[in-house]
Amino acid sequence: MRHRARGTLRVRRTSRRVAAACVLALVTGCDLSGPTFPADPDGTLERVRADQVLRAGAAPNPGWVEVDDGRPTGREVRLVEEYAESLDVEVQWTVGTEEHLVGLLEEGRLDLAVGGLTDQNPWVEKVALTRPYVEVTVGGTTEAHVVMLRMGENALLTSLERWLDEHGELP
């Protein structure tokens, strides 16, 4: 019986020490929560917010992206600008072909790109695509439209997809 009491005392002391260590860690500011998910390995969303600039690419595609005097316009351009406004950042536009924009995304020189792109995108091995945010019927075929982003930057992708879920329907 006497041994059992000592064993109980040891357990209580150990429990108190563990509890004290946890309180100390919390008080000293240790982050015990672990990594934040989703994460951007290259910190794209954090950089966009810090620099207050979203670097966007626009591939001309009638009805989706038009270029007037080098400046992109159109419904997808408005969509990106409204998303940027929700982040309280400005958009820095680069106009180019899809192939050129994919290269810039891969190099990390762009954050996202638009241009009437569909989920049947030939660049799917090189870039990330949002979930389709709008479907349109063209010539009897349904097209599901997406936005291209840099591969692996999941916090930006998640942020954009959540925003598109609420605002993605185009007029």
**DSSP states of 74-135 as a string?**
SHHHHHHHHHHHHHT-EEEEEE--HHHHHHHHHHTS-SEEESS-BTT-TTTTTSEEPPP-EE
Instruction: Delimit the domains of the chain by residue range.
Output: 1-34, 44-167
- Could you tell me the sign of the dihedral formed by the alpha carbons of 95, 70, 92, 162, in that order? negative
Q: Is the pLDDT of residue 142 over 90?
A: yes
Percentage of the residues of the chain whose pLDDT score is greater than 90: 65
Measured distance CA(166)–CA(90) in Å, rounded: 20
Q: Is the pLDDT of residue 115 over 70?
A: yes
Q: Is the pLDDT of residue 35 over 60?
A: no
- Give 43-69 pLDDT, tens digit per residue: 899 999 999 999 999 999 999 999 999
Fold held by 44-167? D-Maltodextrin-Binding Protein; domain 2 (3.40.190)
Q: Is the pLDDT of residue 139 over 70?
A: yes
Whole-model pTM? 0.76
**b (16+ CB within 10 A) / e for 114-130:** bbbbbeebebeeebbbb
Q: Is the pLDDT of residue 160 over 70?
A: yes
